[in-house]
Structure 1
Amino acid sequence: MSHLSILFLLLVALSFTPALSELCNPLDKQALLQIKRELGNPTNLSSWNPKTDCCNNNWVGVSCDTVTPTYRVDNLDLSEIYLTKPYPIPPSIGNLPYLKFLFITNSPNIVGTIPTTITKLTKLRELYIRYTSVSGQIPHFLSQMKTLQFLEFSNCKLSGNLPTWLPSLPDLYGVAFDNNRISGAIPDSFGFVSKRFGYMTLSGNRLSGKIPSSLGKLDLKTVDLSRNKLEGDASVLFGSEKRTEMIYLAHNLFAFDFGKVRVPKVLDSLDVGHNRLYGTLPKGLTSLKNLYRFDVSYNKLCGEIPRGGKLQEIDESFYANNKCLCGSPLPSCKRF
């Protein structure tokens, strides 16, 4: 056989074995293509071509772990997928065992409940489901996923109560369940989460009742409980030695002596407007040098606004509609 004939046969053989040069694990590729089918083969995922390598950075939303010798899909971003009709979250997502980060966002035609197959993702660290029509309760089976570090289910249609099982996730550092239909009280168990826990946003729900005293144990960097029906004393969220940078409690029914609050030294955003807070403004506010957002309007606060820090630079509308606040930037206090 001539050299030309041998070369020709080699070229033909290679043309029929493209998988030999692929980095993408064949099982991962099979799972991704099944996910695509379960979503009705949306045009956004046209780059998911079975004839190409899913780990070559050309498959939209797919990233692979390139550190280890075995390239496996570790990041899946299903954002802004245009669906012609409603589809549930694809159950085949559970067939990507090396997945660490999962995003399902900005797709209003994603419906139904969170599938149990997600529990097969034993390496998953962060799960984001936002701006979808996903409904039902936050499922208890997520408590099995001990690698979870961050959970975001925001701007969906979730209902039921907050999960009491959060302390069972040993590495959890934050949750965001904003703008859903979640009701009931904040569980006492929220105060017993991981020591790493520093981010909790639950705004825009139907939460009610009092804040459990156990939350005072938390050293949160960010807390947002705004736009609910919570009541009573929220002063446990404050503390001069805490690392809290943002506290949003607006549009609730909180009622406590605001003047007794110990303000975190690193606080840069505070919104307690539209509540029933009474007393004076805490003097600790004058020590805040970087106050980017501040609102105490529509409460029952009284007395002179302390001088110092950024307090005199705040627009007077953010002090408005209180019982008897006075002093710059509001009109001077009357002297008798």
Structure 2
Amino acid sequence: MKTIPKWVTMLPIIYSLKLAKCGNEMSLDDWKPAALFAYDVIDLSENEISGSPALFLNQTIILLEFRAAGNKLRFDLGKLTFSKRMKTLDLSRNLVFGTVPTSLAGLETLNLSHNHLCGKLPATKFPASAFAGNDCLCGSPLSPCKA
């Protein structure tokens, strides 16, 4: 499957979209779901997906989980808005850059490892493994920032 089928995109209500490991090669910049607000779970992990999830992450208000590990997503994480209902975010092993927003501190599960993130981490309960392999993140639970 190279893209998300049109019939899926046109559904007025779909609670869970799980397309992990299905060979998807699309760009999220081209994905225009009919009803962004209708998703609880989106799992696009381990594909060849590029672009930015900003369109739906900035507009959905009920999304609980977004998993897109192991893709080619490239966007500035610090410019996204996250629903207060979101519980899980996995963007590990992508090309994500920018800073880690404080709004992610309330999540239950977070994995931003192996990207290109930089800057001081906000106060967090997550282990160092959630941030490992980034270009220049610092602050607890990682190494202290240099003055």
- 1:213 shift after superposition: 3.9
For residues 84-142 of structure 1, the C-alpha deviation after alignment (integer angstroms, 9 at most, x for no partner) is: xxxxxxxxxxxxxxxxxxxxxxxxxxxxxxxxxxxxxxxxxxxxxxxxxxxxxxxxxxx
**Alignment RMSD, CA only?**
1.8
The aligned counterpart of 2:33 is: 215
1:317 pairs, out of 116, 124, 129, with 129
- Structure 1 residues 30-69: aligned runs within 5 Å: none
Flag the 1:202–1:241 CA change in 2: closer, same or farther, 3 A. closer
The aligned counterpart of 1:236 is: 55
Contact 1:269 1:292 in 2 (8 A): yes
Contact 1:251 1:273 in 2 (8 A): yes
- Structure 1 residues 99-110: aligned runs within 5 Å: none
- 1:215 shift after superposition: 3.0
How does the TM-score come out when normalised to structure 1? 0.41
Flag the 1:258–1:217 CA change in 2: closer, same or farther, 3 A. farther
The aligned counterpart of 2:112 is: 296
Relative CO higher for 1 or 2, CA cutoff 8 Å, sep ≥ 6? Answer: 2
- 1:281 shift after superposition: 1.0
For this pair of structures, how many residues does the alignment match?
Answer: 145
The aligned counterpart of 2:20 is: 203
Flag the 1:317–1:204 CA change in 2: closer, same or farther, 3 A. same
Query: Counting strand residues as a fraction of each chain, which structure ranks higher?
Result: 1
Contact 2:89 2:110 in 1 (8 A): yes
Question: Partner letter of residue 129 of structure 2?
Answer: S
Q: Secondary structure at the match of 2:33?
A: helix
**If you compute each CA radius of gyration, which structure gives the higher value, 1 or 2?**
1
CA distance in 2, matches of 1:208, 1:240: 23
Flag the 1:266–1:216 CA change in 2: closer, same or farther, 3 A. farther
- 1:318 shift after superposition: 1.3
Q: Secondary structure at the match of 1:325?
A: strand
Q: Which runs of 4+ in 1 moved over 4 A?
A: none
The aligned counterpart of 1:256 is: 75
Contact 1:259 1:283 in 2 (8 A): no
The aligned counterpart of 1:191 is: 9
Query: Counting helix residues as a fraction of each chain, which structure ranks higher?
Result: 1
- 1:240 shift after superposition: 6.6
- Structure 1 residues 39-188: aligned runs within 5 Å: 183-187=1-5
Identity, in percent, stands at 29
Contact 2:11 2:35 in 1 (8 A): no
For residues 1-37 of structure 1, the C-alpha deviation after alignment (integer angstroms, 9 at most, x for no partner) is: xxxxxxxxxxxxxxxxxxxxxxxxxxxxxxxxxxxxx
Q: Secondary structure at the match of 1:314?
A: coil
Gaps of 5+ in 1: 1-182
1:329 pairs, out of 106, 121, 141, with 141
CA distance in 2, matches of 1:208, 1:241: 23
Flag the 1:208–1:241 CA change in 2: closer, same or farther, 3 A. closer
The aligned counterpart of 1:279 is: 98
